[in-house]
Amino acid sequence: MSRIGKLPVVLPAGVTAQVAGDAVTLKGPKGELTQKFPDYINVVQEGDKLLVSRTDDSKQSRAGHGTIRALLANMAVGVKDGYSRELEIQGVGFKASIAGKQLTLNVGYSHPVEYTVPEGITVTVTDGTQLKVSGVDKQLVGQVSARIRSFRPPEPYKGKGVRYKDERVRRKAGKTVA
């Protein structure tokens, strides 16, 4: 039995769940998320809890059991509180600006980098160098944050680039002259 999968998903106050066929829909104050699950996984709602079980003991169903439960738990937190990642830009002349859903990054290239923010994600820029990516879907928040960071990851010599707020960049010593 999966250690994660056998734990019930406790729905926080203000979050409602609806199990219909092969999908679970969670609604909360921040928004609504839907997760489909395969036919070898059963999801049952009992009061304010969601119970996840599997129909057989195949390798695929054992692997999916804990995964589906973790996804449902992440959805419950997301529709209640939401998720956010903070990034910072370091480098002389490096800055960011946002206009509507269009994020513009000036990160040392000969051209500005344009990125269209997907639906359901909010990006706020403060002070030109601090970015905050927020939304209800944990996976999408992480994916957008990683995409923004990938435009100019921090380099190890001067530390210039886009990094997560809590990220530590290992610095290397430069070339030494004999």
Cβ atoms within 10 A of the Cβ of 162, count?
25
Q: What is the pLDDT of residues 101-142, one digit of tens each?
A: 999 999 999 999 999 999 999 999 999 999 999 999 999 999
Q: Does residue 2 have a pLDDT over 80?
A: no
pLDDT at 1: 58
Q: How far apart are CA 148 and CA 113, in angstroms?
A: 10
Q: Output the pLDDT for position 119.
A: 93
pTM beyond 0.75, yes or no: yes
Concatenating the DSSP letter of every residue in 95-115 gives EEEEETTEEEEESSSSSPEEE
Beta strands in the chain (DSSP E): 9-10, 16-20, 23-27, 32-36, 41-46, 49-54, 83-90, 95-99, 102-106, 113-116, 121-126, 130-135, 161-164
Q: Distance between CA atoms of 5 and 51, rounded to whole angstroms?
A: 9
Q: What's the sign of the alpha-carbon dihedral 66, 49, 78, 36?
A: positive
Query: What pLDDT does 21 receive?
Result: 86
- The structure tokens 């601090």 sit at 130
Tell me: the pLDDT tens digits for 69-91? 999 999 999 999 999 999 999 99
